[in-house]
Structure 1
């Protein structure tokens, strides 16, 4: 009897400390260009929250993939777990940074009549989520816009023939 009361209380508290926000941006880049930027886990230059990852270039995002990243705000190593992948449509990752907080980010790419729509949904869970949300909210609002801009810039540089050399990392062979 006491165990069921405690589990009901914990479930209710988990719902209280769950923050969800979705950001949508319309882009002139193609679905393929946006999807390529989203699934390139090694290139996080467009991402305002992650500074770098330990993923080698060319690795395709697959469910179950776990890799490390470093945040921009405060250099904290985080673990990133790829949950779901629907090629050309959806990528869902879970970021585990601190005990007491868990972040789930879902990227969704849709083709519309006006262009390509990229949406980024951020969900924070845990008792530290209100504190973390106050720190990352301005940066999370820029994720979808920065992703769309990076895909448009990559498309533009491909059309004009500009080549930007990428930085070599320790795991590049």
Structure 2
């Protein structure tokens, strides 16, 4: 687990502004093959393994591609949020940007890496904006579980 955050108070032109950013990475090892993990990850229609998302509006069979914008409903609220697929490197990286509310910017990055010890899954969350501390407090317990739940779901397939 890696945690990096910054908090800045900036006084300029008679205004006091607050800038907050947080970067957190969770990493787990899985016994599932990297291909199975990758297929589970890029299948955006099946988020049954994800502790934060309950469903998406993605048709079955559609996989993540850069530029794709879709909606997901969280387990915390019935209000859908929009997600933008920023980057996909097949078998290696999936990067999403959450387009939820003004005052907060969230980026989610999944990385998978095959080693002799197993397959490493990294789940990184980057939050920016003045609402970030509140959002982090709300989603932290679920964010801690994402990589482990993905590994467990892929291992159940195998």
TM-score normalised by structure 1 residue count: 0.80
Q: What SS is found at the alignment partner of 2:133?
A: helix
Structure 2: distance between partners of 1:102 and 1:53: 20
- Identify unmatched segments of 5+ residues in structure 2: 1-11
Asked whether 1:70 is paired with 2:73, we answer yes
CA contact (8 A) 1:63 1:83 kept: yes
- Identify unmatched segments of 5+ residues in structure 1: 156-173
Structure 2: distance between partners of 1:28 and 1:41: 22
CA contact (8 A) 1:76 1:97 kept: no
Asked whether 1:53 is paired with 2:56, we answer yes
Deviation at 1:36, TM superposition (A): 0.4
Deviation at 1:98, TM superposition (A): 1.5
- 1:1-173 aligned at under 5 Å gives the runs 13=18, 16-155=19-158
Q: Which whole-Å deviations, capped at 9, do the CAs of 1:60-105 have from their partners, x for residues lacking one?
A: 2110000011111122210000000000000000111122112111
Deviation at 1:140, TM superposition (A): 0.1
After superposing on structure 2, the runs of 4+ consecutive aligned residues of structure 1 that deviate more than 6 Å are none
Count residues with an aligned counterpart: 145
Greater Cα shift, 53-62 or 82-91: 53-62
Q: Alignment RMSD, CA only?
A: 1.4
Give the match for residue 161 of structure 1: none
Greater Cα shift, 98-107 or 78-87: 98-107
Larger proportion of strand = 2
Deviation at 1:154, TM superposition (A): 1.1
Structure 1: distance between partners of 2:117 and 2:33: 11
Structure with higher Rg: it is: 1
Q: Which whole-Å deviations, capped at 9, do the CAs of 1:6-31 have from their partners, x for residues lacking one?
A: 7xx97xx5xx4111100000000000
TM-score normalised by structure 2 residue count: 0.88
Deviation at 1:123, TM superposition (A): 0.7
